[in-house]
């Protein structure tokens, strides 16, 4: 198939899923065309089936807000026509689903019928999407998509709850490349970070409010009173200055390392003992899956789709959002020498269920059926 993928090119989860999907599809022989405003962060290797088309927004003094959606729709029209794409797959509803709708309508006037698949990732529904500023457009463009997928059952339910969506939503969970995300021998790195065998707790996120990074710090501050440990923070975002201040206030800076936006996150996860994800909202929790694949158990909240990934008492523990005391209690239990090995093994075993090879065929089947339905509709109208 010739597949167009529209996504955010940044390190965010939806962009990561879209890029890894495109890479996996290209390796299976499909031709994949990324359409976005800059090179996707994880589009980092050459494959003859992978193409990247940059959306260019001409500057004009009148444009206080540059009309990205129009430039994107125009680019989609151009690429679908020139590359003869079979299907367009847009990740994150805003503004990709409505831009795709516009592109589809333009192409229709030229007798080109392109099916559009929309994948809902999380905040496009649970946070930004349901804001009245966007809701009517989000509802409309989801309903106009030829197929809709969501990354967890919880997100599917939330979508039906907040939007008048009539379309069937298929759940296709996040997936993981187990060749990249696996526990690697990084003993020298571990010795440098925790020279006295301290336990290593890790959190990775975009440091936004929904991630509750403050809870991460408070959990760690309590855990280190009982178990000698260090905290590694991967990622960056608006909450970081406040978090740095909190570390100073709690006088724990000597045991906390801010590593910033690291690309090789699997190297950090390879030396970790525990992953912390106390999020307020989390449609799936890709960062936790990456940790589990590297044999790291997870202490998390029970927000959104996390319970579909982290199995209570098996791969880690879940607590109510904001229940720092319970998370501390659970973390101390998992970190006990007699418990840690079985949690690590279970984390990996469960992550294997989300392996790329098991999930990508679900997207391929979704494309095939959308293309088939489109053909039937066109034939019926002829």
Q: List contacts with ligand GMT (CB under 6 A).
A: 12-15, 17, 92, 121-123, 151, 174, 206, 210, 281-286
Taking the least distance from each CB to ligand GMT, the nearer of 80 and 359 is 359
CB 15, min distance to ligand GMT, A:
6
Query: Any residues with CB less than 8 A from the CB of 174 and at least 6 apart, and which?
Result: 13, 17, 151, 284, 285, 286, 289, 354, 359
Instruction: Reduce the DSSP state of residue 159 to 3 states and report it.
Output: helix
Taking the least distance from each CB to ligand GMT, the nearer of 14 and 98 is 14
CB 344, min distance to ligand GMT, A:
22
Its sign, for the CA torsion 371, 376, 380, 382, is positive
Taking the least distance from each CB to ligand GMT, the nearer of 221 and 234 is 234
Burial (0-12, 13-18, 19+ Cβ within 10 Å), 63 = exposed
Burial (0-12, 13-18, 19+ Cβ within 10 Å), 84 = exposed
Q: What are phi and psi of 318, to 5 degrees?
A: -120, 145
CB 123, min distance to ligand GMT, A:
5
Instruction: Reduce the DSSP state of residue 13 to 3 states and report it.
Output: helix
CB 208, min distance to ligand GMT, A:
6
CB 128, min distance to ligand GMT, A:
10
CB 277, min distance to ligand GMT, A:
9
Q: What are phi and psi of 212, to 5 degrees?
A: 50, 55
Rounded Cα distance between 147 and 170, Å, is 8
What is the distance, to the nearest Å, from the Cα of residue 324 to the centroid of all Cα atoms in its chain? 24
Taking the least distance from each CB to ligand GMT, the nearer of 17 and 247 is 17
Taking the least distance from each CB to ligand GMT, the nearer of 123 and 315 is 123
Rounded Cα distance between 228 and 4, Å, is 49
Q: Where are the beta strands (DSSP E) in the chain?
A: 2-6, 31-36, 50-54, 87-91, 116-120, 147-150, 169-171, 199-204, 229-234, 256-260, 274-277, 298-301, 316-319
CB 287, min distance to ligand GMT, A:
7
Rounded Cα distance between 172 and 47, Å, is 25
Taking the least distance from each CB to ligand GMT, the nearer of 224 and 285 is 285
Taking the least distance from each CB to ligand GMT, the nearer of 92 and 343 is 92
Taking the least distance from each CB to ligand GMT, the nearer of 86 and 124 is 124
CB 146, min distance to ligand GMT, A:
20
């Amino acid at each position: 198939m010739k597949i167009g993928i529209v996504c955010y090119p940044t390190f965010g989860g939806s962009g990561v899923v879209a890029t890894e999907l495109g890479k996996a599809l290209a390796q299976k022989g499909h031709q994949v065309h990324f359409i976005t405003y800059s090179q996707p962060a994880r589009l980092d290797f050459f494959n003859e089936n992978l193409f990247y088309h940059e959306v260019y927004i001409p500057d004009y003094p009148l444009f206080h807000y540059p009309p990205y959606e129009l430039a994107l729709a125009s680019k989609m029209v151009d690429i679908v026509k020139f590359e003869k794409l079979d299907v367009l797959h847009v990740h994150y509803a805003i503004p990709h689903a409505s831009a795709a709708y516009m592109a589809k309508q333009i192409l229709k006037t030229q007798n080109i019928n392109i099916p559009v698949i929309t994948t809902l990732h999380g905040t496009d529904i649970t946070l930004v999407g349901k804001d009245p500023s966007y809701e009517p457009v989000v509802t409309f463009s989801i309903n106009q998509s030829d197929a809709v997928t969501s990354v967890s059952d919880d997100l599917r339910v939330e979508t039906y709850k907040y939007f008048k969506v009539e379309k069937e939503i298929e759940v296709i969970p996040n997936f993981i490349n187990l060749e990249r995300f696996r526990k690697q021998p990084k003993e020298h790195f571990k010795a440098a970070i925790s020279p006295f065998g301290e336990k290593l707790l890790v959190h990775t996120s975009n440091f936004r409010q929904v991630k509750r990074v403050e809870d991460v710090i408070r959990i760690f501050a309590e855990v280190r009173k009982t178990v000698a440990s260090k905290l590694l923070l991967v990622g960056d975002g608006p909450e970081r200055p406040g978090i740095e201040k909190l570390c100073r206030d709690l006088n724990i800076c000597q045991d906390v390392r801010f590593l910033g936006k690291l690309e090789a996150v699997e190297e950090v996860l390879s030396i970790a003992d525990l992953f912390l994800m106390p999020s307020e909202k989390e449609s799936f929790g890709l960062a936790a899956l990456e940790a589990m694949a590297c044999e790291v158990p997870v202490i998390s909240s029970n927000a959104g789709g996390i319970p579909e990934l982290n199995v209570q008492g098996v791969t880690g523990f879940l607590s109510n959002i904001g229940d720092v005391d319970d998370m501390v209690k659970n973390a101390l239990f998992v970190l006990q020498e007699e418990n840690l090995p079985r949690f690590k093994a279970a984390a990996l075993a469960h992550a294997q269920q989300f392996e790329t090879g098991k999930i990508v065929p679900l997207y391929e089947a979704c494309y095939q059926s959308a293309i088939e339905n489109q053909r039937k509709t066109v034939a019926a109208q002829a």
